[in-house]
Homo-oligomer: A and B are copies of this chain.
Amino acid sequence: MYPNILRHPGPTPIPKKVELAMAQNMISHRSEEFVKLYRETTERVKPVFGTKQDILLLPSGGTAAMEAAVVNIASPGDEVVVVTVGAFGDYFVSICEKYGLKVHQLQKEWGEACTKEELGDFLKPLSNIKAVFATYNETSTGVLNPVGQLGEAVREHSDALYIVDGVSAIGGAPAEMDEWGIDILVTGSQKAMMLPPGLALLSVSDKAWKVIESNGSAAAYYLNLLSYREWAEKGMTPNTPAVSLIMGLSAVCDLIDEEGGFSKTVERHEVMKNMVRKSMNALSIDLLTTEENASPTITAIRTPEGLDLASYIGHLKKTYHLDFAGGLGPLQGKIFRFGHMGYCFPSDILEAVSLMEAGLQDFSYPFEPGAGVKAAQEVYLSSLRKS
């Protein structure tokens, strides 16, 4: 009866308009209707990536798109650099190692971002690096890496391809793939893109296409990007695509238009980020990341002092139907994660902070009830006055 308030890092809530779009009558993936849908939708989604390149749609999760980015450009023995700042950076390491690449890992503490200088210093002594991999938004820590600046470091110190995992960022965070020199940018549907899981979006620079073309040994069949490119020219995909999710993606593009364009969507995420952060400050609850590295889509909140975290987030779920995610790996028990991406609005932040406060009262946590909500309101009101 009570709705679950899903404030997870993904999957995230689906707009009614998207649900209904996905429930349209099924069409053949070899029909004119599909070609029209495919061409229009992949064109409309380009601003979300900040690219003039084509957007490819894979019927898979974001992880498969990350794997596609690896397997299409590299061969066993190739040397790559992976910047890791959390669990999802480690994914790239695992994928590269699975394919026999030699990985130079620039590993940062969980909760920190990587700076341009650090990446520059790391790249300086290395040569023959095929690609540099980085995570834009580290879902496990709520760190937004400065991928634009990291791209400068890549260009200054190497000829490597620059490959970015945009899962949990793209759709909520600003992205300028072309301007930032990103050669492959990938994301999944179920985070800030307001869709159910099952569709991966991916874009490839001209430079990366040249590498892919010459990389004859690419082992993958389903994830063969040349085959996706070949079929995309006809407005289709090599195998049966996730038709209903593409119908949903078209509705997502409508919603972004309704909001006033993607820059407005980015502004909303920025407001929500600030609402969450200011409210936690007001409650004297610590955040994992600094202001500078803070993600606009997810905030990692440290366990309020003296509280048993599992009991607290279990209580929020059970009593208030407020669904947060815990910490991963070394941060388990130390943080919880508040997702504020995709189909999420300032009103949702006020709701969640209010319920968090109610839960804190249940645990007799010492704080001034209303203080968190008040701080969040102030951010919201101030953003409305500006716009």
On A, residues with C-beta under 8 Å from B are 3-4, 6, 8, 10-14, 19-20, 22-23, 25-31, 33, 59-64, 67, 94-95, 98-99, 188, 190, 196-199, 219-224, 239-245, 323, 325
Q: Is the CB of B26 within 8 A of A240?
A: no
Q: Which residues of B contact A64 (CB under 8 A)?
A: 59-60, 64, 222
Task: Please give the count of copies of this chain that the complex contains.
Answer: 2
Q: Is the CB of A25 within 8 A of B8?
A: no
Q: Which residues of B contact A98 (CB under 8 A)?
A: 219-221, 224
Q: Which residues of B contact A31 (CB under 8 A)?
A: 323
Closest chain B CB from A319 CB (angstroms): 15
Docked pose: A185 CA to B23 CA in angstroms: 29
Docked pose: A59 CA to B200 CA in angstroms: 11
Closest chain B CB from A73 CB (angstroms): 15
Q: Is the CB of A10 within 8 A of B240?
A: yes
Q: Is the CB of A13 within 8 A of B28?
A: no
Q: Is the CB of B59 within 8 A of A60?
A: yes
Say whether, besides A60-B64, A64-B60, A222-B60, A197 and B242 are in contact (CB < 8 Å): yes
Q: Which residues of B contact A221 (CB under 8 A)?
A: 63, 67, 94-95, 98-99
Specify which of B11, B20, B240 is in contact with A188 (CB 8 Å cutoff).
Answer: B240
Specify which of B10, B60, B219 is in contact with A99 (CB 8 Å cutoff).
Answer: B219
Docked pose: A240 CA to B31 CA in angstroms: 30
Docked pose: A323 CA to B20 CA in angstroms: 23
Docked pose: A222 CA to B240 CA in angstroms: 18
Q: Is the CB of A239 within 8 A of B27?
A: no
Q: Is the CB of B62 within 8 A of A240?
A: yes
Q: Which residues of B contact A188 (CB under 8 A)?
A: 240
Docked pose: A67 CA to B197 CA in angstroms: 21
Q: Is the CB of B8 within 8 A of A245?
A: no
Say whether, besides A67-B221, A188-B240, A243-B196, A11 and B30 are in contact (CB < 8 Å): no
